[in-house]
Amino acid sequence: MILSRLASSQSDRRFWLGFIASALVLCLLVPLLNALPEGSALHLPNYMIPLLGKYLCYAVLALALDLVWGYCGVLSLGHSAFFALGGYVMGMHLMRAIGTRGVYGNAELPDFMVFLNWKSLPWYWFGFDQFWFAAVMVVLVPGALAFVFGWLAFRSRITGVYLSIITQAMTYALMLAFFRNEMGFGGNNGLTDFKDLLGFDLSQGSTKMGLYLASAILLGGSLLLLRHVVATKLGRVMMALRDAESRVRFLGYSTTHAKLFAFTLSAMLAGVAGALYVPQVGIINPSEFSPANSIEVAIWVAVGGRGTLVGAILGALSVNAAKTWLTGAAPEVWLFFLGALFILVTLLLPKGLMGLKKRFSKAEEGHV
Amino acid sequence: MSENYYIEEASQSDKVAAGSILYLDGVTVSFDGFRALNELSLVIAPGELRTIIGPNGAGKTTMMDVITGKTRPDKGDVLFDGQIDLTRLDESRIANLGIGRKFQKPTVFENLTVFENLELAMKSRRGIFFTLRHKLDAEARDRIAEVLKTVGLTGKEGWQAGALSHGQKQWLEIGILLMQDQRVLLLDEPVAGLTDAETEATAQLILDLAKQPDRSLVVVEHDMEFVRALGSKVTVLHEGSVLAEGPLDEVQNNPRVVEVYLGR
């Protein structure tokens, strides 16, 4: 008992050291390096800031998936849908914030609606001129979809590969729907040409830095929130149902409710990540719903090590860094690389990078 | 607990079987034309220890599935405590009513520690938001320590359950049932794969458990030595219905039983 508590406080200490060190790097070192004069060897170019911010949003998405996959054993291959929905909600607000500065100068209607000859704003666009309304919707829309979808799926006891397939179908259906101009979300082109957010000009370096820092804070906050959730008794119920679901039912817990809680919370986090992603990349379009995107998220989590929250972050950051580098250096090999990576991790590193770390530390202990 | 009150209210059966804790009448379950249970009728009294034997495919596990809500019967009545219709409730609700189950294959949470396995099983409210905020108090820790001692796992509470031996897993699962503090325990082959010494100890444990007057136990077992050690009333199942019922000696001498089961 005492021994296990000591060990847990030791790993606790290691976690906090890592957390604070990462926070210092992300929130102090990065802005500092960016502020260095352009000629300096250590100068971090401006274009890197939104890129890093994008990675951090992806890391939040990976964390969200890890909660349902790594802890509840529910492999959702539709998590990009929640990310994209959060992104669309933010995009709608940014579109309304353009006001009369659009090409057609229409104060009410976004450009694409004027182009389609629409006369008035569809009812579901009402309220999005208000930031607070959009902020609420960023959480509510993906959360509501996840709640309804999860309720139907988990109540019918759809698990394993069947669940993965219907989540793929869900994101694919959303992609097709958002491609349609009649949906009123900009069709093929999606939403773009954003000008400002809360009055801050999105083309300004300082705004980009602000969004990047917001992403870093979101990531840190999400990590701490999920770390708390999985350490509660409910977290142990989740891990238990991942390993022996019917046993958990016979203990009197509703596994439907536990999974639904995780799935909905996860979708909400994914939505917030998507909402911070969109102003940094400047566009949201239906391709974000593409089934392949969701599969890529699962690969990040697998590479980092599912069931370890830090692993999900490491996986998302490392795979995306590799992607940025490879798609620049040799774009034709990227998909092969991604496929090979997934196969190698599955075969050689079933616990991902975090498993590798554990193996090394065990070897060290062995030498001592 | 108000939650249970509503459940009982909702599934109050129009039939009443006074003086029974479990009451099965005319229960039939078919899978693709195969009748796993065929007009099965069985009554367990409060505080009773009952052993159920029967050849493979006699319907023993299906019977437990029906009682615990895993399988819905095609027809027949299944009543708990003389009045609650179990056929309308799902597994978790039935578990919360007071029916616990040990699986044929020992089923514990392998990636959690022994302590955590027992903690999850401990009787408490099962709602999501309650579980999210739940903290263990000293009383609960004492209770876990007590059960650890009962099932002989003291000192192993920090172990991952997956690292336990087969016998220890069987006992941990019994410990899980004890933590739930259920009124009915259904034990599906509790000594399968155990050594003789472990089997003996398990029999003693079950007899101790049966001493509590408000707890009923239903044990399904193949091991005749073990059945004899329990010394309870025996029910023989065959092809989904009851073939014979009575003390072991009487049952063993029943010509029909000898024919279908023991005489082979």
Residue B193 lies in a domain: yes
pLDDT confidence bin for B6, thresholds 50/70/90: very low
Q: Is A180 on the interface with B (CB under 8 A)?
A: no
The total number of structural domains in chain B stands at 1
User: From the CA of B257, how many Å to the nearest CA of chain A?
Assistant: 33
Task: Tell me whether A239 touches chain B (CB under 8 Å).
Answer: yes
pLDDT in tens, A98-145: 888 888 888 888 989 988 888 889 999 999 999 999 999 999 999 999
pLDDT at A5: 52
Residue A247 sits at the chain B interface (C-beta within 8 Å)? yes
Tens digits of per-residue pLDDT, B146-192? 999 988 889 988 999 999 998 889 889 999 988 988 899 999 988 88
What is the tens place of the pLDDT at every residue in A165-181? 999 999 999 999 999 98
Question: What digits encode the pLDDT tens for the residues A35-67?
Answer: 888 888 888 888 899 999 999 999 999 999 999
For residue B218, give the nearest of B46, B39, B17 by alpha carbon.
B46
A193 and A111 Cβ atoms separated by less than 8 Å: yes
Least confident of A242-246, B1-5, B38-42, B211-215: B1-5
Tell whether B152 is covered by a domain: yes
Task: Please choose, from the candidates B174, B217, B223, B220, the residue with its C-alpha nearest in 3D space to the C-alpha of residue B194.
Answer: B223
B124: CATH: 3.40.50.300
Q: Between chains, do B100 and A249 touch, taking CB under 8 Å as contact?
A: no
Which chain A residue shows the shortest CA-CA distance from B181?
A251
Domain that holds residue B203: 104-210
Q: Cα–Cα distance between A253 and A259 in angstroms, integer?
A: 11
In a domain, B251, yes or no: no
Q: Average pLDDT over chain B, rounded to whole?
A: 86
Choose from B66, B91, B180 for mutation: most chain A CBs within 10 A: B91
Number of residues assigned to chain B: 264
What chain B residue is nearest to A249 in terms of C-alpha separation?
Answer: B92
Contact A63, A272 (CB under 8 A): no
- pLDDT grade, residue B4 (50/70/90)? very low
Chain center to CA of B34: 24
CA A229 – CA A258 distance, rounded (Å): 12
Q: Give the whole-number percent of chain A exceeding pLDDT 70.
A: 96
Task: Tokens 């007899």: give the residue.
Answer: B207
CB contact under 8 A, B131 and A239: no
CB contact under 8 A, B158 and A1: yes
H or E stretch including A79? Answer: helix A79-98
- Per-residue tokens: A226: 């999920």
Q: Do A261 and B128 touch (CB under 8 A)?
A: yes
Distance CA A90, CA A94 (A): 6
| Surface of A (62-81) touching B: CB under 8 A | none
Looking at residue B3, its pLDDT comes to 44
Hey, what are B78's tokens? 């299944």
pLDDT per position as a tens digit, B56-97? 888 888 999 999 999 999 999 999 988 889 998 989 999 999
What pLDDT score does A6 carry?
A: 52
B96 and A252: CB-CB below 8 Å?
yes
Q: Which residue in chain A is spatially nearest to B134 when comparing CA positions?
A: A233
Whether A237 contacts chain B with CB within 8 A: yes
Mean pLDDT for chain A? 90
Q: Is residue B187 part of a domain?
A: yes
Query: Is B138 within 8 Å of chain A by CB?
Result: no
Q: Which residue of A has its CA nearest to B154?
A: A1
Beta strands in chain A (DSSP E): 191-192, 196-197, 200-201, 283-284
Indicate the pTM of the whole model. 0.89
Alpha-carbon distances of B185 from A217, B198, B209, rounded to whole Å: 50, 20, 10
Nearest to A236 among B91, B112, B158 (CB): B112
